[in-house]
Amino acid sequence: MNDLVIVFPGQGSQFTGMGKHWYDEHAAVRDRFARASDLLGYSLPDLCFTAPPAELTRTRHAQVSLLVLSYALYEVLTEGREVPVTAMTGHSLGEITALLAAGALSFEDAVRLVSARGEAMETCAARRATGMVAAVRVPVADVERHVAEFNAEGHDVQVANYNSPTQTVLSGTTEDLAELTTYLEDRGAKVAKLNVAGAFHSTHMAGALPVFTEALDAVEITEPRIPVYSNVTGRPHEDPAAIRRALAVQLTSPVRWSEITDALVANRTRLWIEVGPKQVLKKMLVPVVGSGEVLNLDEDPEAVYAAVARVVEAKRREPSLVGLCMGAAAATRNRNFDNDEYREGVIAPYRRLQELDQATQDGAELSDDDRREAVELLTTIMATKRVPEDEQRDRLDTILRRTGDAGLLATAQAHRA
């Protein structure tokens, strides 16, 4: 498998000077920073490159800065080349960057949404002294058990991030977290205080929901072109309405990062690229992805470009989506012996697949509409041949995952309906 997953970092990856060389070297990055500055009403370059670290670290500034920089870097990575991305995701805020990169949000709406999110979270956090700690070197189940025992004594600490089998982030009041730190260290855990200004991804953020929900209602969300994995469910988002619900729930619910990585590892992802500053996600991924390769664009762009080139070449050598659809159409058993139905529902669609295949052999690039049409044609052929629905789903799933077009599964399901 040559699956490629793009991941985007969340709050905590920011630092003064981040992205400066990308800004200096790429007009596309400067254009994104300029557009965001117009939307925000302040200079994003000044904030990222010269402002005091304490100013950039503010939740209202860190989140939108990371969104803009990470997306601009993604545009640099994909400029002038078709990168066969299998799936995208991001940690916390990074999930919104992934939705932007996958085409579910416009740049303007994403900037406005994340700006509102950061402001609402910062305002909520200022109402009470809260924070977050990371418990490491202890299995998740043990941390959950210890936290439950601790909370039974009248405390309220909540799991905020399931980052890995041995890294769990917890949210609560600063007083509770101070006591919990000693409690966990006495039981063999290593506990580190995180440099954040609130108890994110817990019910302590409930006060931010009204403002953020209003901002969500004001933006347009469409179907992602590439599957984007949800922090709330650990699975790909299903539709725009589900995306809207999940983004709101995410504010007060734990990030299920380890479930996302488990699912993608199970899909035999071979290449993971973190697009954004620092290497926070790379460091979390390396121990859990097995033989998969993990790279960070900001750290080593040449290695990333070379790895992407290898994936592109491997995909080029594989049968095309249309070719695989033709193979599946020919291989499935026919159970319909009505000549008129067969002519209309099998022969005619197959001839259209042949036309699409010939166009690709002549050097044409398949458009998104062509890909959708190929899937619909195969679906029509299998339905006309009366192929059992389970077999139809299995064949389509295999083809679309093999070609990196898993996002078209929804198209096939809608066509069958």
- Residue in this structure with the two tokens 């460091």, named with its chain if needed: 283
Is residue 258 domain-shared with residue 242, that is, in the same domain? yes
Tokens matching residue 378: 């195969």
Angle at the Cα of 165 from the Cα atoms of 164 and 169, rounded to 5 degrees: 55
Catalytic residue among 61, 91, 146, 201: 201
> What is the mean pLDDT of the segment spanning 27-47?
98
Is residue 330 domain-shared with residue 220, that is, in the same domain? no
Residues 6+ apart with CB under 8 A from 369: none
Tokens matching residue 319: 């049968």
Percent of the chain with pLDDT over 70: 97
Side chain identity, residue 251? L
Is residue 214 domain-shared with residue 114, that is, in the same domain? yes
Write phi, then psi, for 370 (nearest 5 degrees). -60, -40
Give the predicted TM-score (pTM) of the model. Answer: 0.81
Q: What is the pLDDT of residues 294-311, one digit of tens each?
A: 999 999 999 999 999 998
Write phi, then psi, for 271 (nearest 5 degrees). -135, 130
Report how far residue 135's alpha carbon sits from residue 185's, in angstroms, rounded to the nearest whole number: 9
Among residues 147, 164, 193, which one ends one of the domains? 193
Residues 6+ apart with CB under 8 A from 252: 201, 202, 203, 205, 206, 209
> What is the mean pLDDT of the segment spanning 208-237?
96
Catalytic residue among 70, 92, 115, 202: 92
Judged against a pLDDT cut of 70, whether residue 2 lies above it is answered with no
Report how far residue 146's alpha carbon sits from residue 166's, in angstroms, rounded to the nearest whole number: 14
Is residue 41 domain-shared with residue 117, that is, in the same domain? yes
Residue 327 neighbours by CB distance under 10 Å? 14
Residue 283 neighbours by CB distance under 10 Å? 14
Q: Which helix (H) or strand (E) covers residue 363, if one does?
A: none
- Please confirm, yes or no, whether 201 is among the known catalytic residues: yes
Is residue 138 domain-shared with residue 120, that is, in the same domain? no
Is residue 151 domain-shared with residue 221, that is, in the same domain? no
Q: What is the pLDDT of residues 233-270, one digit of tens each?
A: 999 998 999 999 999 999 999 999 999 999 999 988 99
pLDDT at 106: 98
Q: What is the pLDDT of residues 154-203, one digit of tens each?
A: 999 999 999 999 999 999 999 999 999 999 999 999 999 998 889 999 99
Judged against a pLDDT cut of 50, whether residue 286 lies above it is answered with yes
Judged against a pLDDT cut of 50, whether residue 1 lies above it is answered with no
Residues 6+ apart with CB under 8 A from 312: 81, 82, 83, 84
Strands 158-164 and 167-173: antiparallel
- Please confirm, yes or no, whether 106 is among the known catalytic residues: no
CATH number of the domain bearing residue 169: 3.30.70.250
Query: Is 198 part of any domain?
Result: no
CB 402 within 8 A of CB 324: yes
Judged against a pLDDT cut of 90, whether residue 413 lies above it is answered with no
Q: Which helix (H) or strand (E) covers residue 6, if one does?
A: strand 4-8
| 28-32, 270-274, 321-325: least confident range | 321-325
Is residue 323 domain-shared with residue 410, that is, in the same domain? yes
Residue 268: left (phi > 0), alpha (psi -120 to 50), or beta?
A: left
Q: Which domain holds residue 291?
A: 4-125+203-315
> What is the mean pLDDT of the segment spanning 386-392?
94
Q: What is the pLDDT of residues 91-135, one digit of tens each?
A: 999 999 999 999 999 999 999 999 999 999 999 999 999 999 999
Residue 38's pLDDT band (cuts 50, 70, 90): very high
pLDDT at 405: 76
Is residue 105 domain-shared with residue 211, that is, in the same domain? yes
Residues 6+ apart with CB under 8 A from 202: 158, 160, 171, 172, 252, 254
